Structure 1
Amino acid sequence: MTNPSMKKAAIILSFSIVTAVFSGQAWAEQGTSTSTPANVTSSDRSNPYEVAGINDPAEFTTYFAKLQKAVKGNNPAEVADLISYPLNLNKDNKKYVFYNKNEFIKKYDRIFTSRVRENLLAQKADKVFVNYQGIMVGDGDLWIGKQNNKLGVIAVNIINNPYEVAGINDPIVFEHNFSLLQKNVKEGKKSEVANLMVYPLKVNHNGKTMQIKTKKDFIAKYDKIITAKVKKALLAQKADKVFVNWKGVMIGKGELWIGQFGEQVGVFVINQ
């Protein structure tokens, strides 16, 4: 993993999540005085969606259920009926506008990406962020509001994922875990570092492989695993300057490899 050919082949990736702004509707900043955490029950007379221009909370919850059903059923035509045109798509720091159903259906998979669909289906209608600009779904992947007196999706924001080829679904999770790994290694917090490993962990040294099967085993052998060389490479690595391929995300010159296994993003190989 550390040979010169790999170094030559390394692709330096730069990752930044851009807060997109679109005409008439902005990607809202949470925590402003105009925000309202929605929490609707059948007996709740308040309307947490009112600030977004929705007078009847049942109108939104009914609409949202239809949208999730159409997306889950992979029915682009039904989803297209639930868009409020023109639809703004923010991607790669550029804005694209779709004016009708036909345009939307042709580009459906590029607009409703796997991440957008996943975050939409995971969203609870009573746990959305609301402000005067609309109703935010997920991490801002979708915005729902009224346009031309029609309730629908008014904007889609696609967050680029430079770690996708490594099988990592969410770049935010990777960067969060990587930051924690650096912090905990720097502070010598063995138990916290152990939580960021994927077991069984492979540790390669002088052509031999040792398997660390449990967190307890890792902590007991911590100083033999996280050597000075490994620690130095990890702490010197910038998250936006990593090499990525189908095997995972390489740290340093291959001292550590990070990947996703199930829902866990963590270190699965250490090369000393």
Structure 2
Amino acid sequence: MPLDRLLSRAAVRLRAAGSPSPRLDAEVLLCHALGCDRTWLYTWGDREATTLVRARYEALVAARAEGHPVAYLTGEREFWGLALETHSSTLIPRPESETLVDVALALAPVAVGRLLDLGTGTGAIALAFASERPGWSVVGIDHQTEAVALARRNAERLAIGNAAFLVSDWFTALVGERFDVIVANPPYVAADDPHLVNGDVRFEPVSALVAGSDGLDDLRHIVAAACDHLVPGGWLALEHGHAQGAAVREQLSVAGYVEVASCHDLAGHERVSLGRVPGLR
């Protein structure tokens, strides 16, 4: 069977299964099965699929039809132009989190400094920032040893040498450490959120998604604790749900942060809220 026909059949199956992007999913999975990029696929789509490729591809399509995330099936997701290894022990990097990278870069206009990424997962945010600010020292922490190992592998394969990753339950391994900028994309989904039973999140670790009855437990903890780990004048920037901006701004203000504000993602939702510790750096 020609690759083009195999691809078309897979896209139809994934559309029927409810994939929001059936053609793209079908292409990415076929490229993974072939070990090629999409340009090769567009050029040589009339070639016959081998029996081995067809069997491998049909298994991938079947798993995707059941809802398994493409990023877990291929073991890779692009973020900020970086090809990151993914694993089911961590969240899948999402485009809206690039807003947090944009904010962090805006808060770091100088050539040198220290940034901390809390709950780093794949290392996506830490590595994106580090790639843009090579003079900065970046630390990413996660309480999952699997996540820290994954982030370290991503740093190595991308040859990003100014980012280090540590196992830590939030700030517990960082006693006495201070940073110019702290960023976090913590769990912020409410325990009863109906979206938890839909889409990719069904297969992602609940501990990386859910934070109490209102989704704000971890955000509250970070806001309260980060003051002791920021230099005077340092910034805290937090990703949160699209309806949580007002609550996070209130937490920041009550905790004594100044210049509190929120930034919107490309969809127009409040996605990142930030505040500065009083004082001069």
Same fold (TM over 0.5): no
Q: Identify the structure with the greater helix proportion.
A: 2
TM-score, normalised via structure 2 length = 0.28
Q: Which has the higher contact order (CA 8 A, sep 6+)?
A: 1
Q: Which is greater in Rg?
A: 1
TM-score, normalised via structure 1 length = 0.29
